Amino acid sequence: MADSDPNERFSRHRFRGLDPKSVERWAINIENENTGLRGQVAALETRVMEADAFSEDAVKEMIALQEIVKQTEAQQEMFATRQRLFRDEAAQIVHDAWAEASVVRAQTQQMRDRTQAQLDAARATHAHHLDAMRGKVREEIETAIDQVRAVLAAECEEHQSRIAAERVEHQSHIAALESERRRIIAEIEACTTSLLDRIAPLKQPLSDAEPEAGDAGATIQPVHDATEALTVLVTTMRRSLETPVAAWEPTGVIEMFPAEVAQ
């Protein structure tokens, strides 16, 4: 009955009050619907199979993803653990660095204080040495000044004594020159007197002597020479009397009459 044709069933059975053709159309439609439904069922079964395969793949992928999630969670936990370790290590390092920095800061402060104390002591020592050096240099300068003053005083005294000696020598030289001047003046006066004595006979009239005509020129020439010599002597005496002793120099008058000066 299940394998029999539906149209044959509808054709064998008669429904009271219904048109067989309508019943047959209904049967055909129902059969078409059943066929479509069977196709849909087959498609659904195929999809169910595909869904089962997809679900199995999904389950496998879910298991793989769960494994990945577990690994990820383990890695995250390990990362968190490492991060906590790193954080703890970093905190410990920071704490150690802070403690070391505090120690270094304290040591630096101590070193700075010690350096400042040494610097103050060095400054005080330097100031003391500088004051001592200044005092020593001042004493040396004063000693040098005293020595220079003593040397200058000695040189001044020596210069004054030398000036005094030169002054005495100059005065003695002036006295000698004055004596020489008086001697030369006396000699000049003697020479002048001698010349005047020699000229006196020549002033007598020529008629008394009655010289010859040839001797007139020889007699007049000595008179002129003696007159010129007398003029030179008078000029020299005037110059010697008017000229200072330091600037006076003897002329050549004595050399002109050495015999008369010798007398």
230 lies in some domain: yes
Say what the pLDDT of residue 253 is.
43
196 lies in some domain: yes
- Measured between alpha carbons, how far is 80 from 129 in angstroms, rounded to an integer? 69
42 lies in some domain: no
Whether 232 and 253 have beta carbons less than 8 Å apart is answered as yes
Whether 258 and 223 have beta carbons less than 8 Å apart is answered as no
129 lies in some domain: no
Number of domains, the chain: 1
142 lies in some domain: no
- Measured between alpha carbons, how far is 130 from 83 in angstroms, rounded to an integer? 65
Spans in the chain with pLDDT lower than 70: 1-18, 199-224, 226-227, 233-234, 237-263
**Structure tokens that stand for 238 in this block:** 């005037």
41 lies in some domain: no
18 lies in some domain: no
DSSP-derived letter for residue 3 is S
Say what the pLDDT of residue 254 is.
43
CA angle 240–246–250, rounded 5-degree value: 45
Whether 230 and 188 have beta carbons less than 8 Å apart is answered as no
Is this structure's pTM higher than 0.85?
Answer: no
CA angle 230–231–236, rounded 5-degree value: 95
Expressed as residue numbers, the domain containing 187 is 180-262
- Measured between alpha carbons, how far is 263 from 261 in angstroms, rounded to an integer? 5
201 lies in some domain: yes
- Measured between alpha carbons, how far is 205 from 99 in angstroms, rounded to an integer? 151
pLDDT digits (tens, 9 = 90+) for 99-118: 999 999 999 999 889 999 99
User: Residue 22's closest CA among 36, 34, 10?
Assistant: 10
- Measured between alpha carbons, how far is 60 from 62 in angstroms, rounded to an integer? 5
Say what the pLDDT of residue 106 is.
92
Whether 187 and 261 have beta carbons less than 8 Å apart is answered as yes
